Amino acid sequence: MTRGLTSTIALAGLFILVGIDIWVTPPNPYQSPPLVAFGSGFSASGGFCGNLLNEISTTVPGQ
C-alpha cells in the first residue's frame, strides 16, 4: 500500500467515526462545557490518574 492510499483510508475512517459520533449524540451548545474556561468558576471534573499516588501515600495501611 502506498502512503496516499493509507492516509486516505485513515482519514475516511476518522470522518466516519466523527460522523457516527455526531449522528448518535448531536451537539447541544446549551449543555456543552465552554471550550476555554480560564477563570470561569467551573471546577475540574473527572478522574486524574496522577491523583492515585497522592491517595496511596496519604493513607496508612491497617487503619
pLDDT of residue 2: 93
The DSSP secondary structure of 12-60, one letter per residue, reads HHHHHHHHHHHHHS---TTTSPPS--TTS-PPP-S--TTHHHHHHHHS-
pLDDT of residue 33: 66
pLDDT at 8 over 90: yes
Summarize pLDDT for 35-62 with one digit per residue, the tens. 666 665 666 565 555 555 555 555 555 5
Sorted by where each begins, the domain ranges of the chain are: 3-58
Q: Which of 1-5, 28-32, 38-42, 52-56 has the highest mean pLDDT?
A: 1-5
pLDDT at 17 over 80: yes
